Amino acid sequence: MTTPAPALLIAGHGTRDDAGAEAFRDFVRELGRRNPGLPVAGGFIELSPPPLGDAVTELVEQGVRRFAAVPLMLVSAGHAKGDIPAALSREKERHPGISYTYGRPLGPHPALLAVLERRLDEALGGSARTPADRAEVTVLLVGRGSTDPDANAEVHKAARLLWEGRGYAGVETAFVSLAAPDVPSGLDRCVKLGARRIVVLPYFLFTGILPNRVRQQTEGWAAAHPETDVVSADVIGPEPELLDLVMERYREAVEGDLRMNCDSCVYRIALPGFEDKVGLPQQPHFHPDDDGHHHGHHHHDGHAPSHAH
């Protein structure tokens, strides 16, 4: 008898926005529909039902003993680093005999960057199709914001990857809470950098209180700056790319294949403008202190130095 695959447990932030919470619950149901035979459940860390513990109980009552937990979050901040592992440890005490592996957050993945690019095109109404058009567009990518510098840095990484090879004038970053610059300051910065057209792009999976605040702050700033062309883009949403990515994170967790930054590695993934690098054989650099080269340089002591490359 083969051991059944671990169940998929989806962990969400939680939101006071009913539509945002329902979007999460819908997404979990769709994951279950797309993966018949795989037990799937999801819950929140805070603010909205169901709590993560209820999702675990639901699966345990189906006979599940092994889980792979995937955080439905774009960046690894306090929730992903601390709250979810703590909650899972508590569930192990509540349900003796269960075990789990823990997946990594979702972004910045090329599949999500493709969705963000689509959201930009939609916001611009298809008016930025040519390179010359795109060169007139500055994007302000707005993250949730965190007291964790590493989490905020992840938003900057996403912004850089979105800019690379796509031809926008620039992709700047701002945050809606807990971190600077805020949305109005981010828009001011875009103008100082010479922005003609600005698209404010929320770096959020689903609708909610914070994405709505991004839009409100954008509209407020735009009303006070009528000379600047500013439009708001939509959140990522329950796109096929997001459903596929969650399953990719599930498989990584199950197989123990928790790679570092290979998602956006130019030698693995065809990134815009760098497609020719995929699969390119890698050649070592010739280090001037390495005895293996043939440039006539010799070490005085006759020994090759050790380098921890």
Please state the domain extents for the chain. 7-105+239-255, 110-232
Lowest mean pLDDT among 23-32, 62-71, 133-142, 258-267: 258-267
User: Across the chain, what does the average pLDDT equal?
Assistant: 88
Residue 1 pLDDT greater than 70, yes or no: no
CATH number assigned to the domain with residue range 7-105+239-255, chosen from the 4 options 3.30.420.40, 3.40.50.1100, 3.40.50.1400, 3.40.50.1860: 3.40.50.1400
Q: Given this model, what pLDDT does residue 286 score?
A: 53
247: helix, strand or coil = helix
Strand partners, 102: 69
pLDDT tens column, 199-246: 999 999 999 999 999 999 999 999 999 999 999 999 999 999 999 999
Which of 3.60.21.10, 3.90.650.10, 3.40.50.150, 3.40.50.1400 is the CATH number of 110-232? 3.40.50.1400
Question: Is this model's pTM higher than 0.75 or not?
Answer: yes
Q: In the chain, what percentage of residues exceed pLDDT 90?
A: 69
- Identify the residue with better confidence: 301 or 135: 135
pLDDT at 290: 60
Give pLDDT tens digits for 152-189: 999 999 999 999 999 999 999 999 999 999 999 999 99
Question: How confident is the model at residue 260, as a pLDDT?
Answer: 55
Q: Residue 97 pLDDT more than 70? A: yes
Look at phi and psi of residue 203 and say left if phi exceeds 0, alpha if psi is from -120 to 50, else beta.
beta
pLDDT score, position 283: 60
Q: Which of 254, 249, 195, 204 is nearest to 74 (CA)?
A: 204
Q: Per-residue pLDDT averaged across 94-117, rounded?
A: 94
Chain center to CA of 217 = 23
Question: Where do the H-state alpha helices sit in the chain?
Answer: 18-34, 52-61, 78, 84-94, 110-123, 131-134, 149-163, 183-192, 209-224, 240-255
The pLDDT of residue 259: 59
7-105+239-255 and 110-232: identical CATH topology: yes
Q: Which residue has the higher pLDDT, 193 or 76?
A: 193
Q: Is the pLDDT of residue 122 over 50?
A: yes
Percent pLDDT > 70 in the chain is: 87
Structure confidence by residue, pLDDT tens digits, 256-306:
875 556 666 766 777 788 788 788 766 655 555 565 544 444 444 444 333
Around Cβ 67, how many Cβ atoms within 10 Å? 27
The more confident residue out of 34 and 15 is 34
Question: Which tops the pLDDT comparison, 55 or 306?
Answer: 55
Could you tell me which residue, 208 or 46, shows the higher pLDDT? 208
Which pLDDT belongs to residue 282? 65
Query: Do residues 10 and 70 touch, judged by C-beta distance below 8 A?
Result: yes
